[in-house]
């Protein structure tokens, strides 16, 4: 079973209205930018929401709390099952654990899709993306919950009212601003065409109570602008966008709207149905990302890389026969946690439905210099790291 066929289901949800283009012809580039060549990737919360948290107060509170990892667990299965059914790709529960893999708890129901989340700066609340209250399983909204999964509050209403809307928009990939006042996210509308539905993905931000939504990035129909992430200064947003079947990463100043394009080209053709992943380092100086290295994009060959924003240098972090994906930085910027998959081991079960057996799957940690790779205990199921804070 080819990976692209399988992940088409996942990408519908994971993919995600201001007048700034998804792509700019006059993009400022950082000094000494040295992008990778075209053919090489191997180069070296919810009763009352506090909206007035200062960056210094947030940092002090966050530093006084033990480090934890938010992650998604795919499939309505036993916690450590190495088997994933094709019928369970629409189920992902949000979970949390200590940074050593202990004290794993589930925060959302296992029969829903909750594939995106972010802590508030002081870790008192979590914003999540969920298809709760949705008739169609691939639609979603944003909610605020407590760190124990209680007291859920809906802050978006993605259904209806949009031009050319033929289905519910998907609110995706929330990112809480460093001062706690805003949440950035991507939103998509299904637009009917003569052949099949098309998608238009844009980036928004709003107050952390769900009010005053503003569009920051608008893309042409069919293109994507997804995965917004705040820089630590709270003035810029990084995001991915698609162009000619590839993905790129750039940032926008939310006041001046100045765009900076980074020298990262990710080989994830949209027709495969997959969506790439990346993560900003805690100090905003580097970008960890996953990139395909296999020539036909269908089987194995996805590795992790680190891009230095100041120099443009790209360093390969992993090198193996599996798919390494979804990198997340440790709070001190010294380690990265990531997911490992093996999409070749699909076998038909007794019901004729394909199951994926993967003994290598789970969460792994690695130092940013590529040393000391190790699997986290108790993560043998299909896990996806979302944030380490």
pLDDT of 50: 31
φ/ψ of 87, rounded to 5, equals -75, -10
- Contact, 290 vs 325, CB < 8 A? yes
- Contact, 223 vs 234, CB < 8 A? no
Looking up tokens 């795919």, which residue turns up?
Answer: 74
Q: What is the DSSP string of 127-140?
A: EEEE-TT-SSTT-B
Q: Quick one: which H or E segment has residue 13?
A: helix 3-14
Average pLDDT in the chain = 75
Q: CA-to-CA distance for 227 and 275, rounded, in angstroms?
A: 10
Give the 3-state secondary structure of residue 343.
Answer: coil
pLDDT of 305: 97
Longest dimension (CA), the chain: 59
- Show the CA angle centred on residue 239, arms to residues 323 and 388, nearest 5°: 60
pLDDT of 366: 97
Q: Quick one: which H or E segment has residue 71?
A: strand 68-74
pLDDT of 11: 39
Q: CA-to-CA distance for 272 and 270, rounded, in angstroms?
A: 5
Looking up tokens 């098309």, which residue turns up?
Answer: 198
pLDDT digits (tens, 9 = 90+) for 332-389: 999 999 999 876 555 566 665 555 666 678 899 999 999 999 999 988 777 889 999 9
pLDDT digits (tens, 9 = 90+) for 89-131: 667 889 999 999 999 999 998 788 787 899 999 999 999 988 8
**Comparing 357 with 286, which gets the higher pLDDT?**
286
Give the 3-state secondary structure of residue 231.
Answer: coil
pLDDT of 248: 93
**Among 211, 218, 278, 291, which Cα is nearest to 38's?**
291
Q: Give the CA count within 13 Å in the CB-facing half-sphere of 280.
A: 23
Domain extents in the chain: 3-16+18-388
Class of domain 3-16+18-388: mainly beta
**Among 385, 305, 382, which Cα is nearest to 6's?**
382
pLDDT-wise least confident of 33-47, 198-212, 278-292, 324-338: 33-47
Q: CA-to-CA distance for 74 and 380, rounded, in angstroms?
A: 11
Rg of the chain, C-alpha, whole Å = 19
Going across the sheet that includes 198-207, the strands are 170-176, 182-191, 198-207, 214-217
Looking at the predicted structure, is the pLDDT value of residue 254 above 50?
yes
**Comparing 73 with 188, which gets the higher pLDDT?**
73
Q: CA-to-CA distance for 184 and 206, rounded, in angstroms?
A: 7
């Amino acid at each position: 079973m080819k990976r692209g066929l399988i992940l088409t289901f996942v990408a519908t949800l994971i993919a995600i209205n201001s007048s700034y283009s998804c792509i700019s012809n006059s993009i400022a580039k950082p000094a000494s930018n040295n992008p990778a060549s075209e053919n090489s990737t191997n180069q070296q919360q919810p009763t009352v929401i506090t909206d007035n948290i200062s960056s210094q107060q947030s940092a002090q509170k966050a530093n006084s709390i033990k480090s934890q990892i938010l992650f998604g667990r795919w499939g309505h299965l036993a916690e450590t099952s190495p088997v994933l059914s094709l019928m369970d790709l629409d189920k992902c529960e949000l979970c949390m654990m200590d940074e050593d893999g202990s004290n794993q708890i589930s925060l959302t129901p296992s029969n829903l899709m909750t594939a995106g989340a972010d802590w508030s700066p002081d870790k008192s609340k979590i914003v999540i993306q969920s298809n709760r209250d949705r008739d169609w399983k691939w639609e979603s909204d944003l909610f605020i919950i407590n760190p124990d999964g209680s007291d859920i509050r809906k802050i978006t209403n993605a259904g209806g009212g949009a031009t050319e809307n033929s289905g519910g928009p998907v609110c995706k990939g929330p990112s809480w601003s460093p001062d706690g006042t805003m949440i950035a996210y991507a939103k998509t509308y299904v637009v009917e065409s003569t052949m099949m539905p098309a998608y238009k993905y844009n980036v928004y931000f709003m107050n952390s109570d769900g009010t005053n939504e503003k569009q920051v990035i608008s893309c042409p129909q069919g293109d994507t602008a997804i995965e917004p992430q705040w820089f630590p200064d709270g003035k810029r947003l990084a995001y991915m966008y698609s162009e000619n079947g590839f993905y790129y990463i750039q940032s926008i100043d939310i006041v001046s709207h100045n765009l900076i394009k980074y020298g990262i080209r990710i080989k994830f053709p949209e027709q495969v149905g997959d969506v790439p992943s990346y993560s900003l380092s805690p100090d905003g100086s580097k970008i960890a990302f996953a990139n395909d290295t296999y020539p036909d994009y269908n089987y194995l060959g996805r590795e992790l890389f680190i891009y230095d924003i100041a120099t443009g240098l790209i360093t390969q972090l992993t090198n193996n026969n599996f798919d390494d994906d979804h990198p997340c930085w440790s709070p001190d910027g010294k380690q990265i946690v990531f997911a490992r998959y093996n999409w070749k081991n699909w076998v038909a079960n007794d019901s004729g439905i394909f199951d994926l057996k993967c003994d290598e799957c789970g969460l792994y940690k690695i130092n940013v210099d590529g040393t000391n790779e190790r699997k986290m205990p108790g993560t043998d199921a299909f896990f996806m790291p979302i944030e380490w804070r």
